[in-house]
Amino acid sequence: MAESVNQQLQEELKSDIVTHGEELQLDEHCIFCKIIQGKAPATILFKNSEVTVFYDIHPASKEHLLIVPNCHHGNPKSVKKEDLPIVEYMHKVGRRILETKGATMENTRSGFHWPPFNTVQHLHLHMIYPEDEMGMMARLFYKLNSMWFVTYDWMIDRLKNMPDALPPTKTETPEQGTQEKTE
């Protein structure tokens, strides 16, 4: 039963939104990169070429998933507008995994720890279900839109409202003449 659900999810969630079919960029010192490579222990719930989903080692409720892109990507503060599809895809995968477990999004807390309050410098989305069974400390640790935890929706709004990447501008230096400069 679980195998057929996983096969169905693999087909449904097939994508190259993160890797674009290129080789993964990993950080040898990152614990999440080690989990992705199978070099560190974790209960993997789902893995494809783009993301890996596993349980948080300190669950805040019955189901506490971490959804991480397989390419090493910095913390949430470093995410740029062009990364919007990655963040949306992470949420889509997490939502589908939780739905197969009977979860509803109305009772799920989804978000990111905001630097400097994150412990791993690899982008990861927390999806916690059921939200109404979170204990007092978990509710504080994952407090919505606080200085230390921002919701998925807040992050999406932030990314959508970012300016587009600046185009190269021409500058002139005495030694090199006119050259392209990116900011």
Catalytic site positions: 124
Q: Which tokens sit at 51? A: 């993301």
Q: Using the 8-state DSSP alphabet, how is residue 47 labeled?
A: E
Nearest residue to 45 via CA among 131, 135, 161, 127: 127
User: Rounded to whole angstroms, how far apart are CA atoms 124 and 145?
Assistant: 16
Residue type for 165, please? A
| Residue 95: its H or E element | helix 84-100
Nearest to 16 by CA among 89, 66, 67, 107: 89
Q: How far apart are CA 4 and CA 20, in angstroms?
A: 27
